[in-house]
Amino acid sequence: MVTTWLGDMAGQRLLDVTEARHRGAGLLHAWLHFEHAITVGLHGRGDTLLLAKEYPYPAYDETRVGPASRPDVLAGFVGGRLVDGAIILGHDGGAVCAGLVLRFDRGDLVIGSLGDEWVLAVDTAPETISAQWTTQPFVGG
């Protein structure tokens, strides 16, 4: 399912990223808005990155929901065209998606979940994390 989604999104421009952030805490959820596609929500759960076709929920209590803004890593890819993508498998060796490498025309975005913490990086995952992940081949070859 994730492989199919990556293949379908290749060539599409990332129009916007919506984030849900709790005041004083980090990222809770993110939604990717690609042109010509349904919004996809990203949810980290333990060592698993879940993708769901859904729209962002409204802000509540001390949770802000709105566009990603610099200096946030996700904001740096808005306007970029997705060229290719790869699935990252977790340390348990199962076929569970722990993250994604999204290759844009302006660089690679690494998104993942490890131990209930978000991993967001440009170009490569941090060394301490990459040892626990296995990146599969890019779907476009």
Q: Is residue 127 part of a domain?
A: yes
The rounded Cα 78 to chain-centroid distance in angstroms is 12
Tokens of 30: 């993110």
By the 8 A CB rule, do 119 and 110 touch? yes
Mean pLDDT of 22-42: 92
pTM check: above 0.75: yes
pLDDT digits (tens, 9 = 90+) for 1-30: 899 999 999 999 999 999 999 887 789 999
Q: Which domain holds residue 31?
A: 2-135
By the 8 A CB rule, do 55 and 33 touch? no
Comparing CA positions, the residue from 46, 53, 59 lying closest to residue 90 is 46
The number of domains in the chain is 1
Q: Is residue 141 part of a domain?
A: no
pLDDT digits (tens, 9 = 90+) for 57-72: 999 998 999 999 888 9
Tokens of 9: 């999104």
